[in-house]
Chain A
Amino acid sequence: MKSRARFLKKIYIGLIFIFMYAPIVLLIIQSFNKSKSRAKWGGFTLEWYRTLFEDAGIIQAFTTTITVALISSAVAVVLGTAACVAMQRMGRRRKNIIMGVTNIPMLNADIVTGVSLMLLFMSIGMQLGYGTVLLSHITFNIPYVILNVMPRFNELNPHVYEAALDLGANPVYAFARTVLPEIMPGIGSGALMAFTMSLDDFIITHFTTGAGVYTLSTKIYSEVKMGIKPEIYALSSMIFVTVLVLLVLVNRVQHQMVRGEGDEE
């Protein structure tokens, strides 16, 4: 009886996994499909993985996506962490106001954030394009950094920093040696989250980009009606498999580290 229940639970978990991965498996299969039509299988080919690198449009969209994600998460880390430091010295009410504003982009619908930024850029006469996309991504990335770094500060013992000052360290040195190591994990996870959000964003980019500037998302959206180029499947499959392998490796290493520590005891 009990083993039957366990079996049913496993089936249930398995079904959810099939549901989540079916489209992804399909896209990866599609990237090896000789036929350009997604309806029929025309035989196995690696053609699209080769022509991909000759397609200037796709390469440009990929470069734009990656540079926007890298620059926006880096700027967000600097501005967000500095704001967290400043908020430690602040009264409760002012801190609450700033955290309230910080929550807006996360709770708001992306479509409203997108059109609000578009209205701002258009009314101050900025040309929509790479710059406006970058500004928008920084804007929605900062909250992810702050929400990851802030809890680290709350766990921090402030006396260690003060002790460093009393012992003659200047504020910058004291910060770098006592506070920074403690908040580093928060900065790391905040940066990773910001990078992921930027990479996957479509809606806000859709409203704030201009003629000729595409990220992978907006490029795919513009091609949906005519049929997506198989090169896009090839590129996305490569990105996906790379990330999957990296995550599995990181997980393995962590696992081994935990086990290694266990052995020493």
Chain B
Amino acid sequence: MNKNSKATLFLGLPYYLWAAFFIVIPLFMVVWYGLTDKTGAFTLANVLSIMRPAHMKALILSIVLSLGATVVCLLLAYPLCMFLVESQKKADSFLVMLLIVPMWMNFLLRTYAWQSILEKTGILNAFLNAIGLPSQHLINTPGGIILGMVYDFLPFMILPIYNALEKIDVNVVNAAHDLGANGTQTFTRVIFPLSLPGVISGITMVFVPALTTFVISSLLGGGKILLIGNVIEQEFTLAYDWHLGSGLSLVLLIFIILNIVVSTAFDRAEV
């Protein structure tokens, strides 16, 4: 048996080596490049370059837009999932699947298609004018980018919330009703707390990609709106300043780690 389990342990070896070489070492390389200058000497200049007005502006805009997109996703997804779970029909799990299917159309194309919809002479304005409403100017504005983020990441919010709501035992909800709770009380005291883990994981899954995107802003921002992701992407692919790019990536990592810490803290509090 002993010899057997040693052999079993060796089965994992290829993955351990793979993870060390392709996950752990690359992260250390970002840290190393971010904390050194071109001569290899230690410096904090790359990380502190986030204080430059242009970088700071991009970071703040990223935070504001990604928080906005996260809130909108939550407000759209939660009622949707409630309605889908409520009716308890087989057909509805099919509906949930249909909400995920758009991800099979290339996401760059889907985002790009919003250009045609939001343009000045685009479909949205043609529709608004036809029903007598004034044209909206959304393309190349922060609002347009929030719309793109919501569109791209909404399924990431829907899935965990739907799963959490679906797991709630109907008897628990009925018990709350029997004990005299009204609709609002049942929701705030029973349903919402039980769905909180799903909400938290939805928030995490939307916030990180929205905060760090450079694709949505370059497709729907007309090149005029720079997010922190655009700044980092340009440092690597245009300016070839790996040290500066890594330094700014470290700033992003701080936010990602904060996000993980906050969400696990919530998870613990729940248990």
User: Which chain A residues have a beta carbon within 8 Å of chain B's beta carbons?
Assistant: 9, 12-13, 16-17, 19-24, 26-27, 30, 38-39, 79-80, 82-83, 85-90, 98, 101-102, 104-105, 107-113, 115-120, 123, 135-136, 138-139, 142, 171, 196, 199-200, 202-203, 206-207, 216-217, 220-221, 224, 228, 232-233, 236, 239-240, 243-244, 247, 251, 255
Contact = CB atoms under 8 A, between A and B. Distances in A.
B232 interface: yes
Given A9-B83, A109-B252, A116-B29, A228 B15 contact: no
28 contacts: A13-B83, A13-B95, A26-B113, A27-B109, A39-B116, A83-B15, A85-B8, A89-B9, A90-B9, A107-B208, A109-B209, A110-B209, A111-B232, A111-B249, A112-B256, A118-B236, A119-B30, A136-B22, A138-B18, A139-B18, A171-B4, A196-B104, A206-B237, A217-B106, A217-B107, A220-B112, A228-B109, A243-B101
Contacts of B212: 109-112
Interface centre among A202, A203, A255 (most CB of B within 10 A): A203
B65 interface: no
B80 A239 contact: no
Given A19-B151, A26-B117, A111-B252, A243 B104 contact: yes
Given A86-B10, A86-B12, A220 B116 contact: no
Interface string B201-242: 000100011011011000100000000010011001100001
B106 A236 contact: yes
A88 B80 CA distance: 39
A139 B22 contact: yes
Q: Enumerate the 5 nearest inter-chain pairs by beta-carbon distance, A residue then B residue, closest first.
A: A86-B12, A116-B26, A23-B113, A83-B15, A109-B212
Contacts of A221: 108, 215
Contacts of B16: 83, 98
B110 interface: yes
Given A19-B151, A101-B23, A83 B12 contact: yes
A255 B106 contact: no
A138 B18 CA distance: 10
Contacts of B214: 111, 203
Contact of B102 (A20, A89, A142, A171): A20
Contacts of B84: 13
Contacts of B14: 79, 82-83
B22 A135 contact: yes
A118 to B, nearest CB: 7
| Size bracket, chain B contacts | 35 or more
Given A24-B102, A39-B121, A119-B30, A85 B12 contact: yes
A105 B256 CA distance: 12
Nearest to A23: B113
A224 B108 contact: yes
Nearest to B20: A101
**Overall SS of chain B's interface:** helix
B260 A111 contact: no
Interface in B38-69: none
Contacts of B105: 23-24, 27, 236, 239-240
Given A119-B26, A120-B25, A82 B12 contact: yes
B79 interface: yes
A171 B27 CA distance: 38
A232 B101 CA distance: 19
Nearest to B108: A220
B236 A244 contact: no
A217 B107 CA distance: 8
A112 B109 contact: no
B104 A23 contact: no
B242 A119 contact: yes
B246 interface: yes
Contacts of A251: 94, 97
A21 B19 contact: no
B256 A107 contact: yes
Contacts of A123: 29
A24 B110 contact: yes
B128 interface: no
